[in-house]
Structure formats: C-alpha cells, structure tokens
Amino acid sequence: MKTEDFPRVGSAAIVKDGERILLGVRAKEPNKGKWVIPGGKVRPFENYHDAAAREILEETGLEVKVERLIGVYEIIKPPSEHRLIVYSWAHLIGGVLRASDDLADARFFTREEVADLVPGGACSDIVCDVLALRLLIFGALALLFLAAVILPWSRVWANRLRARILPAGIVGFAFSLPLVVVGLFGALFTLGGALWSGRSGGASGDAPTVLLGIGASLMATAVATGFITARELTLARIRDSGMTYIWSNRKGRVARDQQAIDWILEMRKATSRCVLLGTSLSGWLKDPTFAEAVKGMASKVRFQILMLDPDSKAADIRQEEEREFQEQTKRRIAGSFLELVALRDSLPQESQENFRLYFYSAMPTFSCCWVDGYMIVTHYLPGLPNRYCPAYGLWNLHPFRPETEAQLYHVFSDNVEFLLRRAVEVTPKNLDARMAAARVHTEHVEG
C-alpha cells in the first residue's frame, strides 16, 4: 500500500443491550482471534454514524442506532499501519445475531465476563480501554459514596493527628466533603489514566494523557485548597478575636515594612474616653506633643491615668526586676506623677475634672492605651526593658457581633475596669500626702 493511502479511517460502535455489550472475534489480522468491538472502514462521503451501523449489520446481522461519540483512537505502526478509528456508543434496535464477514464469532458480554477476558489477552486493547472507562465511572460513584461515609471518621482522626503535631489553634489542613471528593476523583482519574496508557501501549490516543492531567490537577487543587483554607481559618480565628495588628515592640524598633506605633496619634482619636495604663507612663511624658494633645482634648474627653503605686509591694518587686537595667522604678513613677499633676493644674478648671489620676497596687503585667472602642496592649516580659515588649491592637467587635467571650478586647477591658475599681484615685484630700511621698522618691537615688 502506498503512503498516500494512509491513514485509513474506520468507525466502530459499542452496542449495548441492557447491561451487556457486543463483541466479536476477528477472523483476520489485525487482532486475529481476539474479541473486538465490531466496525470497519468508512467509505468515501459516508459519515461515521452510518459507517458503524452498516459494518455492524454486515458483521453481526444486528440493526443498531449509533449515539454519542466516545473518542478517536490513532494507531501508528510504521511502515505498514496508520489508522484512525472513531468509536461511538450504540443501542440495539433489531436483527438476529450471527457472525459473518470479518468476524468468526459474536455475542454479548456482561461487564464481569469482559473483565475475565483481560488477563489472558483474549480481547483487543480498545476493549480493555472501554472496560477501564466503565470501571472508572463505577469507581467514581463508589468513591463518592465512600467519601460521604468515611469523611466524619477521617476528620476525627485528622484532628487527633493535628493535635499531636501542630501547635494549639493552628489548622494544618481543612477537611471538607467537597475537597475529599475532588481529591479522590483526582486520584481515581490519575490511576485510571496511568493504567489506560500502560495497557494500550500508546494506541489510545490522547485520552489517557488528558485523564492523567485532569486527575493531577484535581489532586493538586484539593491539596492546595485544603492548605489555603486552613490558613484562612487560622487567620479568621485571630481576626474574630478582635486583634487588628501586631507590633514586634512598642518603641518603633520594628521589623522591615512593619508600621510603627504612633501613640499620640492613637490617643488623639479618642472622642469620649481615654485610659492610659502603665508602670510610670514616663514614655508618654517624654513626648513633647503629649501635653499639647491633652490640653486640646480634655474639655471633651475623660482621661483616666493609672500608675503603679510607688509605695506598694508590687513596686518593690518591679524595681528589683529593673535594677539590672539601671532603672530607678519608684523615682521614675514619682517624677511622672508630679509632671502629671502639674499638667492637670495647667488645664482650665472645667477640664481638670476630666483628667483623673489613679494609683494601683497590683503587679504590672501589661500596659495599654484604651481609646473608646479600641486599645493597644503591650505585655511586660520579665527580664526585658518595657520598651522592647510586643504590642497588639484590639478592637471591640460587640457592635457588630453579639458574642463577646472570644474577643480579647473584652478580656483586657474587663481587667482594666477591675484595676480602676481597686485603684486609689488622687483627690484633693490625699493630693498633698501623695505629692510629699513623690518628692521623697525623686530625691532618693537607689544604690
């Protein structure tokens, strides 16, 4: 045969009779003696539907109606063979089954019977491919059912494994029915494509490669989506707690691209209330814009300033902790108190009522700037100067969400309110005594 006569075009159809499919034994090469799907050559100007129906009638005596396309297979075996075969589905409409023409035998097989032909090589590659496709569909349905059944148990065991490996609160992978189904389908398609490609020896065209690509894509999508969703769930937990920002420390020595805290700017945002809690608040007083901001706000904003009582046992402990850093804790607190009293005296009489000073006696573990429904909290770390302690912003989500238990804002706001209730306010009755004690501390230098 001349090369210009290639490729030869054929058309075949898988004839269904209920759950059975029609196969015939080839009487000549290629595939002589093997069970094949009936079909033959497409004549000039004949469409592939008519060609398949004609060939099946000639070879088996059955009348069929050709339906949807399955695929096109290409067989290339130089120099003698190059064929394109169009495979379709068809259903039986009449006739009497008898083998003739190119077939030595013909009969209908169940899926199980076709499966028995595969191990011994009794059927052609295309029959094996069709069987693999049917098993793939059946396997997909089985996996879908299996995923729905095992998902609750897989989620329980995954949570147990996650609890042993990952830190508390971190979601490593998000398990959900859609993701599990997509992943299982991806694994099924990948396995089916690999088996199909290996069994057909390349004669199945691009279908196995496409199936492999789809399977790998589905698995990659399921895995990536699981990890991305888990990350979003972890971040959502932080967001739902009311945390808006985290600073590596409160003094502006921040990591690259991290926004530094502008404490005075945050304080200026207050419209009705501003609570400043700290050990001495000396950092605020060192900023020359602090007094200016207070004078501009005190007429409409109620200030509540809480400092550690320098005569308390907690102050003794704190001073001992800060001795290593050459800090005079009590002296610093007393100096800040005298400056704050002077600042209050400089305010108009009506504004002085809005500028209130308090002493607390509890061990200081955090400080904060509480402005209306927002606060910046910084934790004290034993053995480190306060200026290097981390800080984070907390927002009151209560106006938007009724639940408050999980919000850190409410944890700290309740704690500050507790300190205010137990703190001693500086009033005209105790002012002179407090100022006298403060002057003693400012004049005393710890050895």
Task: CATH number of the domain at 27, please.
Answer: 3.90.79.10
Render pLDDT for 271-290 as a digit per residue (tens, 0 to 9): 999 999 999 998 899 998 99
Query: 228 with 286, same domain?
Result: no
- Whether 127 maps to a domain, the answer reads no
Which whole number is the average pLDDT over 250-254? 56
Query: 259 with 407, same domain?
Result: yes
Q: Is the pLDDT of residue 27 over 80?
A: yes
Query: 345 with 267, same domain?
Result: yes
- Whether 391 maps to a domain, the answer reads yes
Query: 66 with 11, same domain?
Result: yes
Write the DSSP string, 346-393. Answer: TS-HHHHTTEEEEEE-SPP-EEEEEETTEEEEEE--TTS-GGG--EEE
- Whether 119 maps to a domain, the answer reads no
Average pLDDT, the chain: 79
Query: 232 with 288, same domain?
Result: no
Give the residue numbers spanning the domain of 390.
247-443
Between 35 and 440, the higher pLDDT residue: 440
Render pLDDT for 335-364 as a digit per residue (tens, 0 to 9): 999 999 999 999 999 999 999 999 999 888
Q: Measuring CA to CA, how many Å separate 24 from each of 38, 85, 90, 97?
A: 6, 17, 15, 11
Query: 229 with 359, same domain?
Result: no
β partners of residue 107: 23
Query: 9 with 96, same domain?
Result: yes
Query: pLDDT band at 435, cuts 50/70/90?
Result: very high
- Whether 121 maps to a domain, the answer reads no
286-313 as b/e: b if 16+ CB within 10 A: eeeebbebbeebbeebebbbbbbbbbbe
Count up the domains in the chain and report the number: 3
Which whole number is the average pLDDT over 126-147? 57
- Taking the alpha carbons at both ends of the chain, their separation in whole angstroms is 111
Render pLDDT for 192-240 as a digit per residue (tens, 0 to 9): 666 666 554 444 455 667 777 777 887 777 777 776 776 677 777 777 7
Query: 419 with 274, same domain?
Result: yes
Query: 220 with 255, same domain?
Result: no
Query: 395 with 264, same domain?
Result: yes
Render pLDDT for 293-312 as a digit per residue (tens, 0 to 9): 999 999 999 999 999 999 99
- Whether 380 maps to a domain, the answer reads yes
Render pLDDT for 36-91 as a digit per residue (tens, 0 to 9): 888 889 998 999 999 999 999 999 999 999 988 877 887 787 877 788 888 888 98
Please give the model's pTM, rounded to 2 decimal places: 0.56
Render pLDDT for 100-133 as a digit per residue (tens, 0 to 9): 878 888 889 887 777 666 555 455 666 666 555 5
- Whether 120 maps to a domain, the answer reads no
DSSP type of residue 123: B
Query: 60 with 148, same domain?
Result: no
Tell me the range of 138-142, 176-180, 423-427 where mean pLDDT is highest.
423-427
Looking at residue 387, which CATH number applies to its domain?
3.30.870.10
Query: 198 with 53, same domain?
Result: no
- Whether 126 maps to a domain, the answer reads no
- Whether 41 maps to a domain, the answer reads yes
Q: Is the pLDDT of residue 2 over 60?
A: no
**CA dihedral sign, ordered 214, 216, 219, 220:** negative
